[in-house]
Amino acid sequence: MMGGWRKSMGWLHTWVGLLLGWILFLVFATGTAAYFQDEITRWMQPEIHGPRDSIASAEGALAYMQQHAQGAEQWSIQLPTHRSVATMGYWKEKGETFLQWRDHAFMVDGRGHKVAVRETTGGWLLYRLHFDLHYVPVLWGRWIVGLAAMFMLVAIVSGVITHKKIFTDFFTLRFGKGQRSWLDGHNLSAVFALPFHFMITYTGLVTLASQYMPWGIPAAYDKPAEYYRDAVGVEPPPTRSGTPGTIAPLGDMLRKAREAWHGAEPGFVFIPIPGDANAVVKITRGTGEDMGTRGETLTFDAATGVMRTPPPVRGNAAQTESVMVGLHAGRFAPPLLRWLYFLCGLAGTAMVATGLVLWTSKRRQQLPDPEHPYFGFRLVERLNIATIAGLPFGIACYFLANRLLPFAMDQRPAWEANSLFIGWGVLALVACVRPVKRAWVETFAVAAAGFLAVPVVNLVTTHRGLFASLATGDLVFASFDLTMIGCALLLGFCAWKVHHRKEGVRMRRKKVALA
Partner 1 sequence: MPRSTATGASPTRLAHALDVASRVVLAAAGGYVAAALTTAGLARWLPIARADAVITGMLSSFAVYALVAIFAFGATRATRVWFWTTAYCVPMGLALYLSMHGGAP
| Residues at the site binding partner 1, with contacts judged by CB under 8 A | 1-5, 7-9, 11-12, 150, 153-154, 157-158, 161, 202, 205-206, 209-210, 212-213, 215-221, 227, 230-231, 315-318, 320-321, 324
Judged by CB, which is closer to partner 1: 12, or 193?
12
Helix or strand (DSSP H, E) at 108: strand 105-108
For the bound state, the minimum distance from the C-beta of residue 20 to partner 1, rounded and expressed in Å, comes to 12
For the bound state, the minimum distance from the C-beta of residue 220 to partner 1, rounded and expressed in Å, comes to 4
The CA-atom distances, in angstroms, between 161 and each of 5, 155, 410, 442 are 9, 10, 53, 37
For the bound state, the minimum distance from the C-beta of residue 414 to partner 1, rounded and expressed in Å, comes to 35
Judged by CB, which is closer to partner 1: 50, or 315?
315
Question: Cβ atoms within 10 A of the Cβ of 213, count?
Answer: 12
* Crossing angle (nearest 10°) for helices 122-132 and 412-433: 60
What is the DSSP-derived secondary structure letter of residue 73? S
Judged by CB, which is closer to partner 1: 9, or 452?
9
Considering only CA atoms, which of 10, 18, 130 is closest in space to residue 383? Answer: 18
In DSSP notation, 387-417 reads: HHTHHHHHHHHHHHHHHHS-TT-TTHHHHHH
Residue 293 CA to residue 263 CA, distance in Å, equals 16
Judged by CB, which is closer to partner 1: 98, or 215?
215
Pairing relationship of beta strands 105-108 and 87-92 according to DSSP bridges: antiparallel
Question: Cβ atoms within 10 A of the Cβ of 298, count?
Answer: 20
The CA-atom distances, in angstroms, between 160 and each of 163, 219, 310, 420 are 5, 35, 46, 35
Judged by CB, which is closer to partner 1: 206, or 448?
206
For the bound state, the minimum distance from the C-beta of residue 223 to partner 1, rounded and expressed in Å, comes to 12
Q: Please, which residues have CB within 8 angstroms of residue 470's CB and are 6 or more apart in sequence? A: 478
Q: Is the CB of residue 179 less than 8 Å from the CB of residue 361? A: yes
Judged by CB, which is closer to partner 1: 227, or 480?
227
For the bound state, the minimum distance from the C-beta of residue 356 to partner 1, rounded and expressed in Å, comes to 18
Name the phi and psi angles at 83, rounded to 5. Answer: -105, -5
Judged by CB, which is closer to partner 1: 180, or 363?
363
For the bound state, the minimum distance from the C-beta of residue 157 to partner 1, rounded and expressed in Å, comes to 6
Q: Is the CB of residue 274 less than 8 Å from the CB of residue 75? A: yes
Judged by CB, which is closer to partner 1: 376, or 473?
376
Q: Is the CB of residue 109 less than 8 Å from the CB of residue 89? A: no
Q: Please, which residues have CB within 8 angstroms of residue 68's CB and are 6 or more apart in sequence? A: none
Judged by CB, which is closer to partner 1: 325, or 391?
325
Helix or strand (DSSP H, E) at 297: strand 297-301
Question: Cβ atoms within 10 A of the Cβ of 308, count?
Answer: 13
Length of the chain: 515
For the bound state, the minimum distance from the C-beta of residue 201 to partner 1, rounded and expressed in Å, comes to 9
For the bound state, the minimum distance from the C-beta of residue 478 to partner 1, rounded and expressed in Å, comes to 40
For the bound state, the minimum distance from the C-beta of residue 155 to partner 1, rounded and expressed in Å, comes to 10
For the bound state, the minimum distance from the C-beta of residue 207 to partner 1, rounded and expressed in Å, comes to 11
For the bound state, the minimum distance from the C-beta of residue 164 to partner 1, rounded and expressed in Å, comes to 15
Judged by CB, which is closer to partner 1: 318, or 456?
318
Judged by CB, which is closer to partner 1: 5, or 171?
5
Q: Is the CB of residue 373 less than 8 Å from the CB of residue 400? A: no
